[in-house]
Amino acid sequence: MRINFNNAFIAVSLIFAISVSSEDLIPNIKSTKSNDIKSVMFVGHSFFYYNNSLHNHLGKLIKADPQIGDIKRRSITINGSSLSWHNVESYLSNENIGSFKIDANKDNSYIEYDETSVDAVIMADCSLCAIHPKTKEAFYGYIAKHSKTIRKNKAEPILFMTWGYKNKPTMYKKLKKEFLKVANLNNLLLIPAGEAFDLGNKSHPEINLYTSDNRHPSEEGTYLAASVVFATLFGRSTEGNLGIGNIEPSVAIKLQRIADKTVSEFFNIQLK
The Cα–Cα gap between 241 and 271 comes to 14
* Closest CA relative to residue 14, chosen from 131, 144, 143, 137: 137
Phi first, then psi: give them for residue 167, nearest 5 degrees.
-95, 15
From the number of C-beta atoms within 10 Å of its C-beta (0-12, 13-18, 19+), residue 106 rates as exposed
Q: What is the 8-class DSSP label of residue 245?
A: T
The Cα–Cα gap between 260 and 21 comes to 28
> Mapping DSSP to helix (H, G, I), strand (E, B) and coil, where does residue 100 land?
strand
Each residue's pLDDT tens digit in the chain (272 positions)?
Answer: 444 545 544 444 454 444 444 445 899 999 999 989 999 999 999 999 999 999 999 999 999 999 999 999 999 999 999 999 999 999 999 999 999 999 999 999 999 998 899 999 999 999 999 999 999 999 999 999 999 999 999 999 999 999 999 999 999 999 999 999 999 999 999 999 999 999 999 999 999 999 999 999 999 999 999 999 999 999 999 999 999 999 999 999 999 999 999 999 999 999 99
pLDDT of res. 2:
45
AA identity, residue 7: N
Is 92 in contact with 59 (CB distance < 8 Å)? no
The Cα–Cα gap between 182 and 188 comes to 8
* Closest CA relative to residue 225, chosen from 262, 188, 189: 262
pTM for the structure as a whole: 0.91
Residue 199 makes CB contacts below 8 A (sequence gap 6+) with 258, 261, 262
Is 88 in contact with 121 (CB distance < 8 Å)? yes
The Cβ of residue 148 has, within 10 Å, a number of other Cβ atoms equal to 14
DSSP string, 138-154: HHHHHHHHHHHHHHHTT
